[in-house]
Amino acid sequence: MKTTLKIIAASFISGVAGVYTGSFLIDKGADEPNDKAPAFHSVGYSRLSPADDSSDAVWPTRDRAERTVIEESSSEESAAPEVPAVDFTEAARRATPSVVYINSISQGISYSYWDWMFGESPGRQRQLSSGSGVIFTSDGYIVTNNHVVASAERIEVNYNKRVYQAELVGTDPSTDLAVIKIDATDLPAIAVGRSSEVSVGEWVIAVGNPFSLASTVTAGIVSAKGRRIGVLKDKFPIESFIQTDAAINPGNSGGALVNTRGELVGINTAILSRTGSYTGYAFAVPVDIARKVFSDLVKYGIVQRAVFGGTVVEYDYANARKYNLDTQVESFDGVLVAALEREGPAYLAGLRPGDVITHIDDVAINAQSEFEEELSYRSPGDEITVRYRRDKKSASIDVRLVNTEGTSEIVRRDIVAVEELGAHLEATQHGVRVFRITENSVLRKIGIPENFTIMALNRVRVKKPEEVVQFFKKHRGRGWIYGMNTSRQQMEIPVYIR
């Protein structure tokens, strides 16, 4: 027992002594420097000259790291000047008064079994859609999207707490643009800039009426130019959109895309979205294209489209292989001629499928969208110089552009005002369009809506207004009018003419 107590006492005394000794040594080590203790330093890499090939230059050392830290701290005083913040208030103040709210009103038509059997008038249901427009001139001309007004039988413009009835001046499905006019003067026309001077990364703002929220302003940057997204289904589509990440939603269509000076650079047109709302990708028609379309629609009522007489595709590795061209090239500059009309101006001038077009006049062409945009500035009868490559040899030719009918003449609208029908008739590529229908018109009584295109009468195709006039003069009894409404819905309307 005594032996056990002795062992316990010895152990206790030894433990106390060990704790005291360790505490003393630790305190002493904290007070005195120890060169052998590990040290941690910030490691940096300095730029090396080509001549510095020593092993010390390859891996950072403690001295080099310390030297880098010192150099970085000493350079804080000579930091780059601050970039001034972007202010959108002035651009918004200038552009907002020039953007209007547009209502497109149409009458939907529904038929029942009894309409077909007894020639009863079809049922009608009022349909309303909205969008935006940009005041181009102080005397009431407004630019908007074709899809905003294409289905309209009546167009209303809400501006400055007033409602104006608008007249449709003309449309251009190729660019999805349209021009309308209201009876007003001294309007604040927007300042028009140049989309060719817009740069990727430049700040822009979008002004419009999304979700019926009037005069909404959003900001973003130009994220790309010359985009083709395949939304235009016209025979001669021109897609060279300005892409922006400024928030654009339904109702923004036809509104303004402006730069930080408040100058118009584009007409907001489309979004790419799985939900139908903004998800980061929005597109605008360049104002340089819009300016040409506006001028033609106001002057002629129809765009004077310049036709090249062929199609081009992107010149890349895949298409080069497809057309049996050399793929071992330094760069794929230009666009590839894919097909040519046998009697078209390009073929007659000497171009052939497989040629690579590099320039139109002095403008370099590197994408299909650039080619289409450059042609959109031209009119029938204009002559362009085309530079191209064939079999590794460069050459140039002059091509005289034509209109959609193959001539260099000005294309004019064929409009006839028919008093006995109480409407205006216009020949189109699909048939005869009926518009400006009066309240007492026989056409309105039998259920033909505004802007309806008559394609056939009693299943006989019609192309000229005179054919429609003769039908109503001579036909009596039951008949059928086959055509297409503003929503491109094809229908057959039964009629009975006494």
Catalytic residues: 147, 176, 253
Kindly report the number of other CB atoms within 10 A of residue 417's CB atom.
Answer: 11
Asked if 152 and 168 count as a contact pair (C-beta separation under 8 A), the reply is: yes
Asked if 382 and 359 count as a contact pair (C-beta separation under 8 A), the reply is: no
Residues 47, 50, 52, CA angle at the centre, nearest 5°? 75
Asked if 209 and 216 count as a contact pair (C-beta separation under 8 A), the reply is: yes
The helix/strand/coil state of 40 is coil
C-alpha–C-alpha distance, residues 205 and 244, integer Å:
9
Backbone angles phi, psi at 15, to 5 degrees: -65, -45
Determine the longest span between alpha carbons in the chain, in angstroms: 142
Tokens 């000076």 locate to 261
Give strand pairing partners of 478.
496
C-alpha–C-alpha distance, residues 378 and 383, integer Å:
9
C-alpha–C-alpha distance, residues 350 and 395, integer Å:
11
The helix/strand/coil state of 16 is helix
Backbone angles phi, psi at 152, to 5 degrees: -85, 135
Q: Where are the alpha helices (DSSP H) in 215-275?
A: none
Handedness of CA 286, 288, 294, 297 (dihedral sign): negative
What tokens were used for 374?
Answer: 């450059």
* DSSP assigned state of 419: T
Residue 374 to residues 175, 361, 383, 410, 437, Cα–Cα distance (Å): 13, 10, 13, 20, 39
